[in-house]
Amino acid sequence: MIPSIRGRLERVAERFEEVTGLLADPQIQADQDRYRALGREYAQLEPVVGCFRSHQALAAEIRGAEEMLDDPEMAPLAREALAEALARQAALEPELERLLIPPDPNDERNVYLEIRAGTGGAEAALFAGDLLRMYLRYAELRGWRTEAVSASPGEHGGYKEVVTRIAGQGVYSRLKFEAGTHRVQRVPETEAQGRIHTSACTVAILPEAESIDAVDLNPADLRVDTYRSSGAGGQHVNKTESAIRITHLPSGIVVECQDERSQHKNRARAMALLQARLLAIAQERQASEQATSRRLQVGSGDRSERIRTYNFPQNRLTDHRIGLTLYQLDEVMEGALDAVIDPLTREYQAEQLAALAGSAA
């Protein structure tokens, strides 16, 4: 372990002891706000310190085994104990480094998934539908819940734009690197001469705010319109003005929801989506100020940058941010996204750890 990381861990352990003492102080216990804040800090520090103490115990075992190597009678046993302790220590260090990385406050939030067809016309709309199916399948495999919010169908299938809410454990932590421009290369069904076409869609991952108060929404800044929902047919379609469109006048952001039959439910969903978009804008601004040079900018929302290419003729997926190439596109499109997300997460954690080591040096 490099000295800078060890030094940071020692400071974390010192702070943990300090927080433990403060939580036992009657004066702190009487101040409920501070007591809750310290309780949250204690919960964040405890797993890091527990893992560090295990690492320190193994280091002591290693020193003891090394001291016994000079004793001819104990040397065979010492070599065996030393090899075992070194192996356990090596296995523990990646987990310790992972725990040291500050958690993203949005990681456990639900998200709004937005997919928009870009260049490519009808083929881009079809690809938007394929991407939606991929993410819905991935959500199903992970046991997440999905709710349609709004959709604008393409003329020949797929979607010009589609918005879906995804809820469950760690949704944002798994999907946050999906934001950006997704490019597809394949032969459209309408292509008579078998030529490969290139199209693109943009994907946005918006963390859901915890409450409507997280973003200050002045009612005077909102224009709310109702209209008749559109769809495939049925008794309800086009009979009542249950669909809601909300325009945030200062920013020009427009959100709508037409999935529910209740105007009240549609309004609530539209307000939640508006809040998520405004929150994302604030986070993007902050992220760009803090990490303009980082390749994997979480929440930067740089949708003009091509992040991934889906080449169907070669069954190839390429993530351009980390140079990852997989020849299992068919599996990924069926929801096997962990093969892409896990390397992105490891790369992000490595960059975070390098930043920590640099700041601690």
**Architecture of domain 3-100 in this structure:** Up-down Bundle (1.20)
pLDDT at 277: 85
Q: What angle do CA 18, 22, 25 make, to 5 degrees?
A: 145
pLDDT at 207: 86
Cβ atoms of residues 99 and 184 within 8 Å = no
pLDDT at 183: 94
Question: Mind spelling out the 3-state secondary structure of 180-201?
Answer: EEEEEEECCCCCCCCCCEEEEE
**What's the token pair of residue 132?**
């939606």
pLDDT at 288: 59
Task: Give the start-to-end residue ranges of the domains of the chain.
Answer: 3-100, 111-349
Q: Tell me which amino acid residue 111 is.
A: V
The torsion angles phi and psi of 18, rounded to 5 degrees, stand at: -65, -45
Encode burial over 113-133: b for 16+ CB neighbours within 10 A, e otherwise.
bbbbbbebebbbbbbbbbbbe
Q: Which fold has domain 111-349?
A: Alpha-Beta Plaits (3.30.70)
> Rg of the chain's alpha carbons, rounded to an integer?
26
pLDDT at 238: 46
Which burial class, exposed, middle or buried, applies to 3 when counting CB atoms under 10 A from its CB (0-12, 13-18, 19+)? exposed
**Residue position matching structure tokens 């302790």:** 85
Collapsing DSSP states into helix, strand and coil, what is residue 320?
A: coil
pLDDT at 293: 31
Show Cβ contacts of residue 31 under 8 Å, excluding neighbours closer than 6 positions.
Answer: none
**What's the token pair of residue 292?**
């303009």
* Bridge partners for 203 per DSSP: 115, 180
Q: Tell me which amino acid residue 52 is.
A: F
**Residue position matching structure tokens 């999905």:** 146
pLDDT at 237: 47
Can you give the pLDDT of all 361 residues of the chain as single tens digits? 667 777 778 888 899 999 999 999 999 999 988 998 899 888 888 988 998 899 899 999 999 889 898 888 888 898 999 999 999 988 888 888 778 777 788 888 899 999 999 888 889 999 999 999 999 999 999 999 999 988 999 988 999 999 999 999 999 999 999 999 999 999 887 666 778 889 999 999 988 876 544 566 788 888 988 887 665 444 444 456 778 898 988 888 888 888 767 788 888 888 888 888 888 787 777 655 444 333 343 333 333 468 999 999 999 999 998 999 999 999 999 999 999 999 998 888 778 777 766 655 4
